Amino acid sequence: MTIHKEGNRSIAISVLLFCAINLLSFYCFSFKTPMLSWIIFIATLGLLLFVISFFRIPNRILTEGEDAIIAPADGTVVAIEEVQADEYFTDRRLQLSIFMSPLNVHVNRNPVSGNVTYNQYHPGKYLVAWHPKSSTENERHSVAYNNNGREILVKQIAGAVAKRIVNYLQVGQKVQQGKEMGFIKFGSRVDLLLPLDVKIQVKIGDKPQGGVTVLAKW
């Protein structure tokens, strides 16, 4: 397991706060109320470990397949439904949504290999990620991939807690399935807009692993 580069600043700040709070606690409480000092230490250590674990990149054997659309994120499948596309596409599409809790791995990966044909950041609201309008009204970053003439759109969507979306791709870039496309800090949601004729391989409630689980096949 390694730590993602997006966590360097957050972890450094957390370590400084952990040290400052516990030094202050030691001088103020350790002699008169040592139990309180221990409670503060354990609580702040738990928070520090949580922040570090949030930016973890576990060692995984990534899935590759020309006929497969791989999960771009860890989380829980919360929606599989036909929708009218509101961005890039003009036809009806199959929307598959993955909710990412703060406990999930938050690296986002390319679901397919191919060329990036669209890349657009949208400012917006911070509705909770499971809100029906979060896909269209929240802050988000949308990327379209062309895989041998077959196109899909992936939306990185901010939520009530997530306040920063990072995306590493550019229009015209050739990308490889499973490689990093971005990162969402502190939980949210990823939507995929797929052609209606794909064969879905998961169901609502499933917990896919980013870069590993096959969501659909062409």
When computed from its CA atoms, the radius of gyration of the chain, rounded to whole angstroms, is 20
Determine whether 188 is an active site residue: yes
Query: Which among 97, 113, 135, 188 is annotated as catalytic?
Result: 188
Quote the Cα angle for 149-75-93, to 5°: 35
Amino acid at site 8: N
Nearest by Cα to 102 from 180, 189, 15, 212: 189
Reduced 3-state DSSP string for the chain: CEECHHHHHHHHHHHHHHHHHHHHHHHHHCCCCHHHHHHHHHHHHHHHHHHHHHCEECCCCCCCCCCEEECCCCCEEEEEEEEECCCCCCCEEEEEEEEECCCCCCEEECCCCEEEEEEEEECCECCCCCCCCHHHHECEEEEEEEECCEEEEEEEECCCCCCEEEECCCCCCEECCCCEEEEEECCEEEEEEECCCCEECCCCCCCCCCCCCEEEEC
- Which residues have a catalytic role annotated? 188
